[in-house]
Chains A and B, each alone.
Chain A
Amino acid sequence: FASSSNSPNATGNISSSNNSTPQSRPAGFGGAGAFDPHRNIQEQAGARPIWSVEYYAKFFDVDTAQVMERCFASVIPKENFLDVMQGSPDLYGPFWIATTVVFVLFVISSIVESINAYSAGTPYKYDFTALTFAFGTIYSYAFLVPTVIWGATKYFGCQPDLLDMLALYGYGLTIWIPVAVLCVLPFDLLRWGLVILGASASGLFLVRNMYPVLSRAEAQTSKSILILVVALHGLLALLLKYKFFAYTVTAPSQPPPPSI
C-alpha cells in the first residue's frame, strides 16, 4: 500500500494522516462536517498511481442511500437501471452483494440441512464444502460471466461498458437474498415457486437492461448472446435450487440424502 503511513496520531484515533495538516475530527457520526469522502475521492482521482488503493476508490464512490436505491431498483425494476446509476456504476454493490449471497446461501443451507436431519432423526453434520461451492458459483457468476459477456459483445461491436455489466450482474443477485431466506420453509412447492420467481425477476432485469447494448450487434448475434445470458441465468437458478434449497423426503427410516 503505497500511501498510508503508520504515523502515531496525537488525537488517539485509529487513522493515518495522509495530509500534513491534522484535522480535528469529531467522533462518531459527526464526521460529515470535517471530511467529505466523495470530494476527497474525486479530487484525488487523477493523482494516484494504478497500484495504490486510492486509485480504485473511484469505483467505490457511493453513499449508503445510493446503494440502497440501486438494490431496490434491481428488485423492483421501474426504470432503466443505467439511469438509476446515473452514469457512475460502482463495484461496492456487486462485490458485497455477491459475498452476502454466498454467506446467506451457506447459512440457509446449513439450516435446511439441519431441519432435514432433525426430521429424519439423524444427528446433523454440517457441511463446509457447501461454502466452497457457494463461493465458486456466485463469484464466477458475478464476475466471470459479465466479463465473458462483455468480451463477447465487444467482439461483436456492441461497445459495452465492463463496469455496467458488472453492476448489472452484481445488483441482479440481490433478489437471491430474500429468496434464500424464505426458502428455509420446508415446503418443496414453495421453494420451487420462490426460485422460479427470483430467477425470472432477475433474468428480466438483466435482459431488459442489456437489450440496448445487445441490439447494437446484428440480429443473429444479439439473439444468440441473449439466449446465452438467459441460459446461464437458468443454470444458476437450478444449481442454487438443487444444491442449497434441496427438499428431501424425510422419514425416520431413510438415511439423509447426500448433499453434494
Chain B
Amino acid sequence: MNHQHNSVEPDDFLSPAAPSYVEATSYSDTYDNPFETNIPHRMNSPSIEPDDVPLPGQKPLSPTKSPLPKVTGNIGSSSSSGHGSSSNSAPTGNIGGGVGLGVGQASGIGSAIDTLDEPVSETLLRDLRNVGAKLQQVLYPKGRKDILKDWDLWGPLLMCLTLSIVLSMRAQPDQKITVFTWIFIIVWLGSAVVTVNAKLLGGRVSFFQSVCVIGYCLFPLVLVSVVSIFLSNIYIRLPLSGIAFAWASWASLGFLSDSNLANRRALGVYPLFLFYFVIAWMILIS
C-alpha cells in the first residue's frame, strides 16, 4: 500500500491554509483505500457538486476563504483518521441543501469551517434572529413575503412550548399534565391535520411550510396567553382573545390563501379557523 502522505498533518487539516488537500484531484491517485477495490472518480461525478458552489438563493463564498476539500463521505478512510469523521461530516451535511431544520444551514453553506470557529452565542443568535424576523413578518406583514418560505420548525416549537407551559401553569394541580399534553397535541397534530386537509382537497401546499406558517401565526395567541397570566377578568380576556384569534387567522390566511383551492377555499380555511378558535378558547378559560 502506498501511502503518500502529502504534507498534511491532522492538526493542519482545519486550517484554511492547509495546502495539499485542495490540490488532490482524485483519491485513487493520492490514497490507497484499503476498503475499496474500485473507487470511481467521484470528483468528476456530475451528481455531486463541490461544496463551494452556492445553492440557488444563497450567497456565494467570499473569495478570501479557501474552498473546502472535496470530500464525498469516505469517512474513516483518509489519513487524518482521527479527525476524519468530524471534518467529513461538516461539509457533507451541507449537501442536503437549505432545507434543514434551521440550524443555520441556509447561510452556512460553504462556510462550515467558519461556523465551527464562531462563538456559540453567534450560532444561537443567528437562529434567534431568523425566528425573530419571521415573527415580525407574521405580526406585521410588510417587506418580503417569502421570508416564510425558508421554513423552520424552531418557531412553531417555541410557540407550542410557551403556550403549553403557560396554560399548564394555570391549570389545576391534578390536570397540569393533561393540559400540557392536550395543548402540545392540538398544536402539532392540528397544524398537520389542517395542512393535510388542504392537500387532500386538492390544494397545492408544501407540508412543512404550511406547518411552519401555522405555528408562527400562533404568536398573537401566545402573547395573549402570557398576558392572561396576570389578568383574570373575563371581560378583559374575552376581547383580547378575540383580537388574537382574528389576528392569527388573518395572518395565516395571508400566507395560505393562494393554494389554488377554487370552490373549496372555505373547506380548506374552516379547519384553520377551528384550530385557532380552540386555542383561543383554551386561553380564555385558563
Q: Which residues of the other chain, A, contact B278 by a CB distance below 8 angstroms?
A: 103, 106
> Min CB distance, A117 to chain B, in Å?
12
Tell me whether B199 and A31 are in contact (CB under 8 A).
Answer: no
By a CB distance below 8 angstroms, the chain B residues around A107 are: 281
CA distance A25 to B148 in the complex (A): 18
Indicate if the CB atoms of A37 and B199 lie closer than 8 Å.
no
Of B200, B213, B270, B285, which one neighbours A126 at CB under 8 angstroms? Answer: B285
Chain A, residues 21-51, CB within 8 Å of chain B (1/0): the string is 0000111110110111110110000000000
Report the bound CA distance from A79 to B171 in whole Å: 48
Known A-B contacts A64-B266, A128-B182, A132-B178; A53 and B258 likewise in contact (beta carbons under 8 Å): no
Tell yes or no: B59 within 8 A of A by CB: no
| Interface hub of B151, B206, B262, B278 (most chain A Cβ within 10 A) | B262
CB within 8 Å of B: which of A198-215? none
Interface core residue of A26, A59, A126 (most chain B CB under 10 Å): A126
Bound together, the chains give a CA A62 to CA B270 distance in angstroms of 14
Interface contact A35-B206, CB-CB below 8 Å: no
Q: Does B184 contact A (CB under 8 A)?
A: no
B5 in the interface (beta carbon within 8 A) = no
Q: Report the nearest A residue to B281, measured CB to CB.
A: A107
Q: Which residues of B (138-195) have their CB < 8 Å from a CB of A?
A: 145-146, 148-149, 151, 171-172, 175, 178-179, 182
Residue A149 at the B interface, CB < 8 A? no
Cβ of B57 within 8 Å of any chain A Cβ, yes or no, is: yes
Q: What chain B residues lie within 8 Å of A35 (beta carbons)?
A: 204, 260, 262
Does A16 reach chain B (CB closer than 8 Å)?
A: yes
The answer to whether A32 touches B263, judged by C-beta atoms less than 8 angstroms apart, is: yes
Please indicate the chain B residues that have their CB under 8 angstroms from the CB of A96 in the complex.
Answer: 197, 270-271, 274
Classify chain A: how many residues form its interface, as a range: 35 or more
Q: Of A7-15, A165-173, A178-186, A227-235, which stretch is located at the interface? A: A7-15
Q: Which residues of A contact B255 (CB under 8 A)?
A: 14
B65 at interface by CB-CB < 8 Å: no
- Asked whether A57 is an interface residue with its Cβ less than 8 Å from the other chain, the reply is yes
Do residues B263 and A14 form an inter-chain contact, with CB atoms below 8 A? no
Name the residue of chain A whose CB is nearest to the CB of B253: A28
Q: B14 contacts the other chain (Cβ, under 8 Å)?
A: no
**Is B286 among interface residues, defined by CB-CB distance under 8 A?**
yes
Q: In whole angstroms, what is the CA distance A12 to B255 when docked?
A: 10
- C-alpha spacing A110/B56, complex, angstroms: 52
Nearest Cβ in chain A — how far from B221, in angstroms?
A: 16
Asked if A103 contacts B206 (CB within 8 A), the reply is no
Inside 8 A of B286's CB, which chain A residues have their CB?
126
Q: Chain B interface secondary structure, helix, strand, loop or mixed? A: helix
A16 neighbours in B (Cβ, 8 Å):
204-206, 209
CA distance A127 to B175 in the complex (A): 8
The smallest beta-carbon distance between B285 and chain A, in angstroms, is 5
A219 at interface, CB cutoff 8 A: no
With a CB–CB cut-off of 8 A, which chain A residues contact B202? 37-38, 40-41, 57, 60-61
Q: Is the CB of B182 within 8 A of A131?
A: yes
Q: Does A67 belong to the interface (CB within 8 Å)?
A: yes
Interface centre among A13, A16, A35 (most CB of B within 10 A): A13
A259: Cβ under 8 A from any B Cβ: no
Contacts of A67 in B (CB 8 A): 267
Contacts of B257 in A (CB 8 A): 27-28
State whether the Cβ of A63 lies closer than 8 Å to any Cβ in chain B.
yes
Contact mask for chain B residues 254-282; partner A; CB cutoff 8 A; 1 contact, 0 none: 01111111111111001100100110010
Name the one of A14, A32, A54, A63 contacting B148, with C-beta atoms under 8 angstroms.
A14
Tell me the A residues contacting B by CB distance below 8 Å: 1, 4, 6, 8-9, 12-18, 25-29, 31-32, 34-38, 40-41, 53-54, 56-57, 59-65, 67, 92, 96, 99-100, 103, 106-107, 110, 114, 125-129, 131-132
Query: Could you list some 8 contacts between A and B, CB below 8 A?
Result: A1-B207, A4-B206, A14-B256, A32-B263, A64-B263, A92-B201, A126-B286, A128-B178
Kindly list the 6 A-B residue pairs having the minimum CB-CB distance in the complex, ordered from nearest. A37-B202, A63-B263, A12-B146, A60-B200, A35-B260, A16-B206
- Since A38-B263, A64-B265 are in contact, a sample of 20 more A-B pairs with Cβ atoms closer than 8 Å, ordered by chain A residue number, is A6-B151, A8-B56, A8-B57, A13-B258, A14-B149, A14-B206, A15-B205, A15-B206, A16-B209, A25-B260, A31-B258, A31-B261, A37-B202, A56-B200, A57-B201, A63-B267, A96-B197, A103-B274, A128-B175, A128-B178
